[in-house]
């Protein structure tokens, strides 16, 4: 299996079995965001305790890239501090414009190919933008 195939498999896996696709009972933060160019819609619920993301869930619908990215992101930030989660979102967005990430992005690296399609970058970053919106309010 070459890297392209591995990446495709990873994206497919997150689409078929999305991680953390649920609503939280009493989320600390809830942010809804829309990507009008593609029609992707996402709602991100965050449970924050002592500056950490203790639980996270997302709901919504959209293209496979937007949903896989949300699944990968929620998986990656669970248990991280608010600062680490924000840094991850920033690194991922930079990664999609060709800047290597200083930290491991895990499954999110499978979305690398999206950088060749500027219109799809908005799909891949939708969940990340929602996270930034939620957490920037928190640190203000
Ligand atoms: Zn999309």
Check if the beta carbon of residue 32 is closer than 8 Å to that of residue 41.
yes
The helix (H) or strand (E) run that includes residue 42 is: strand 40-49
Q: Beta partners for 31?
A: 44
**How far away, in angstroms, is 53 Cα from ligand 1 center?**
26
pLDDT of residue 3: 84
- Give domain 3-138's CATH number out of 1.10.1740.10, 3.55.50.30, 3.90.1010.10, 3.30.1330.60: 3.90.1010.10
Quote the CA–CA distance of 43 and 33 in Å, as a whole number.
6
- The CA distance from 106 to 92, in Å, is 10
- The Å distance, Cα 42 to ligand 1 centre, comes to 11
In whole angstroms, give the CA distance from residue 95 to residue 7: 15
What tens-digit pLDDT sequence spans the chain (140 residues)?
A: 788 899 999 999 999 999 999 999 999 999 999 999 999 999 999 999 999 999 999 999 999 999 999 999 999 999 999 999 999 999 999 999 999 999 999 999 999 999 999 899 999 999 999 999 999 875 55
- This prediction's pTM: 0.95
Residue with tokens 């949903």: 67
The CA 111 to ligand 1 mean position distance, Å, reads 13
What are the residue boundaries of the structural domains of the chain, listed by start?
3-138
Strand duo 52-61 + 29-35: pairing: unpaired
Distance from the alpha carbon of residue 66 to the mean position of ligand 1, in angstroms: 5
Q: What is the dihedral of CA 118, 16, 127, 114, to 10 degrees?
A: -20
């Amino acid at each position: 299996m070459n890297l392209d195939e591995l990446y495709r498999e990873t994206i497919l896996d997150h689409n078929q079995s999305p991680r953390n696709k649920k609503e939280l009972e009493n989320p600390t933060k809830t942010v809804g965001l829309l990507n009008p160019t593609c029609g992707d819609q996402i709602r991100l619920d965050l449970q924050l305790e002592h500056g950490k993301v203790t639980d996270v869930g997302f709901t919504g619908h959209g293209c496979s890239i937007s949903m896989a990215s949300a699944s990968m992101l929620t998986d990656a930030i669970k248990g991280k501090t608010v600062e680490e989660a924000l840094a991850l979102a920033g690194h991922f967005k930079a990664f999609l414009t060709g800047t290597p990430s200083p930290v491991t992005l895990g499954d999110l690296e499978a979305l690398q190919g999206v950088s060749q399609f500027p219109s799809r970058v908005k799909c891949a970053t939708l969940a990340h933008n929602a996270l930034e919106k939620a957490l920037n309010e928190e640190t203000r």
